[in-house]
A = this chain, B = another copy of it.
Amino acid sequence: MKDFLFGAAYYEEYAQEDRLERDLQLMREAGMNTVRIAESTWSVEEPRCGEFDFSHVVRVIEAAGRYGINVIVGTPTYAIPKWLADLDPAILGEAPFGPRQNMDITNPTYRFYAERIIRELVSRTAAYPNVIGFQIDNETKHYGVHNERIVQGFRDWLKARFGTVEAVNDAYTLYHWSSSVSSFDELPDPIGTVNGGYACAFEEYRRELAAAFLRWQADIVSEYKREDQFITHNFDYAWKSFVGPNQQGGQSEGLQPDLNDYEAANAVTLAGTDIYCPPCDALTGWEIAFGGDLMRPLKKAPYLVLESQSQAFTGWLPYAGQLRLMALAHLASGACGVMYWPWASIHGGIESYWKGILSHDGEPGETYAEIRQIGMELKRLAPVMTNVPKKNPIALIVSPEALHAMRWFPTGQGLSYNDVVDAFHRALYELNLECDILYDREADWSGYQLLIFPELYGTSDEMIRRVREYVEQGGSIFASFRSFFADENLLIRHDRQPHGLTDVFGMHYSRFTKNAEHVWMELLEPDTAEAIAHYDDPHWQAYASFTHHRFGAGQAWYLGCTVSDEDLKAHLLRAAAASGIPHPAVGRPMILRRRGGLRFLMNFSDDTQTLPCPQGGTDMLTGAVYAPGQSLTLPPWGAAVLREETDMEISRRER
């Protein structure tokens, strides 16, 4: 990446008047250098089947070029035109025509016309010098689509995985309630099954379909794109909607259930993402850190924030300074670009109230003014940041398979897998213990000092072996309740728990319950482990709730129950310290993140904060120089980016 990408999504197709030159002028004045276009506008680009009209696309690329602005061209395949739905009704999912992302991405008719428009679009735009890359599709998932062809594909997938139908019966114990079958054709439609393992396998199969669809798009785009043009995709997260049907509103929260990002990332050359988080009093920066920590390891490289909010939903109008703080937080997490969605507020349709940098009147207002400030500051920071990678000593191991398993076999009281994962990550974040989030399929654990396993429910024996070996060789692990309980098909292990690791953890358990304090509590019985905590409950006080054990050259902590955020932080701090990871001096609302030689100090609060600054350094934003030990004061929602003194600088100063 030559430059840090700073820009916005731009839809000339939706505009009520011709604003192109004015918009580009405003962007340039704000220091923006990139627009993303064309995704979701198929019906404009091909108003009738086979009749192409890329005039908006070409016009925007050419005009942007004149303003020195780069373009990311998105394939428009995630929202189909009506004529395509009419051609083959099987393309649509459960809902009637209307919402986007309501199609069967494996449908042959859909694939035929999607391929055609991709080829038309990419071939016509790849040669423009200011087209720097392509986004394939957008926030791709399998959309819950389910039909006889997909079910048949699932049967074939099971056959490839298990060989015989008896093995399928065994793997999911379909005998239960009389669901075992004697041929692959007889295998029941997984929609309708009450067998959680079988249902989750279907989810896994459908995630594979979505990843394969992205690889298929990437292969087409690769036929046309230049060497220097990237392929990216807009990975998103679980979406916590807070509005009714037919409205847009929600926030990113936890792992995406319907795409395995790790599997899908091999389709792209640059990881991209969109992150939406509540601002105002609720702004903590956590969602930004979560997204960054998850995206960064995908390509082991900086990632692009393809969509970030500016005004967003009603009630999300950020306080002064918050947009700037959010942009710095993206930078601190390893981003190589920040783009906003959208440039200008849209006047009709479902996204009318998901506001852009400009309000509906198209005038540069307060929000634009803060964007312009960010643009100026980025000019100073970007050159030394854009390509700087980032890696942390702690890794959190996650899995969409565990997420779905916990939906079928829930922990209770509405506590989801993402709630647990988020609680662990949020605790680390608030302690300023930086971590990477790794998919469980990631084989490379080198360099990590502490691996954390929240509710990693179903694991293969190979994973058990890797965990054991990691500890044996000196690593630290911290596992939560319900981890390692079942095999990869969600069949509960029929030996002692935690399966295959009782000697590693030095304890076992066979019973679990809950009480007013704990949503889930395993009655841990230490064998050689130390019981760090026992249960308070008079009925269960004989049992441990948190244990520690040395095994081989490493250490293993096991937390048997849900705990308060405060207790979770104490337990994690203990494990980090014992694993040689330094204790951070301050915590939330002061967030400290490090990237390369820069330290980001961010005040996520409405109050002024003063903190010690032991090493000193120069604030890249203001030029202010802090001597070691000098304290540093940040206004509400303020930030500093300290470049530490080099040895040469130190010696010069000390002379």
Residues of A within 8 A of B (CB): 13-14, 16-17, 40-44, 47-48, 76, 79-83, 86, 95-100, 172-182, 186-189, 191-197, 199, 243-244, 246-247, 280, 311, 314-317, 319-320, 345-353, 359-363, 365-367, 408-410, 412, 489-497, 510-515, 520, 539
> Given A16-B173, A348-B492, 5 more contacts at CB 8 Å?
A172-B349, A174-B349, A247-B410, A280-B539, A348-B491
- B514 pairs with A177, CB closer than 8 A: no
Assess whether B510 is in contact with A179, with CB atoms less than 8 Å apart. Answer: no
Q: A192-B95, A196-B246, A348-B195 are in contact. Are A43 and B492 (CB under 8 A)?
A: no
Contacts of A83 in B (CB 8 A): 181-182, 186
Given contacts A179-B82, A349-B177, A410-B244, is CB(A361)–CB(B191) below 8 Å? no
Q: Which one of B16, B191, B194 contacts A350 once the chains associate, using CB atoms below 8 Å? A: B194
Distance of A79 Cα from B178 Cα, bound (Å)? 6
Q: How far is the CB of A278 from chain B (nearest CB, A)?
A: 12
Choose among A100, A247, A511 the residue with the greatest number of B CB atoms under 10 Å from its CB.
A511
In the complex, the answer to whether A196 meets B349 with C-beta atoms within 8 Å is yes
Closest to A359 in B: B510
In the complex the two chains form, what is the Cα distance from A81 to B95 in whole Å? 32
Chain A residues touching B, majority SS: loop
Contacts of A43 in B (CB 8 A): 174-175, 178-181
B494 near A17: Cβ-Cβ < 8 Å? yes
Chain B nearest CB from A49 CB (Å) reads: 10
**Alpha-carbon distance between A152 and B179 when the two chains are bound, in angstroms:** 32
Residue numbers in B under 8 Å from A16 (CB-CB): 173, 491, 494
Write the nearest CB–CB distance from A114 to chain B, whole angstroms.
Answer: 12
7 tightest A-B CB contacts, nearest first: A96-B192, A176-B349, A173-B348, A317-B513, A79-B178, A359-B510, A315-B514
- Which chain B residues border A489 with CB–CB below 8 Å? 348
Q: Closest approach, in angstroms, between the C-beta of A349 and any C-beta of chain B?
A: 3
In contact, B319 and A195 (Cβ under 8 angstroms): no
Interchain CA distance A348-B495 in the complex, whole Å = 14
Complex CA distance for A496 and B554, rounded to whole angstroms: 65
Chain B residue at smallest Cβ distance from A366: B511
A363 to B502 Cα, complex, angstroms: 15
- What are 7 residue pairs bridging A and B, where the CB atoms are less than 8 Å apart in the complex? A17-B494, A40-B178, A82-B186, A172-B349, A176-B348, A196-B246, A360-B510
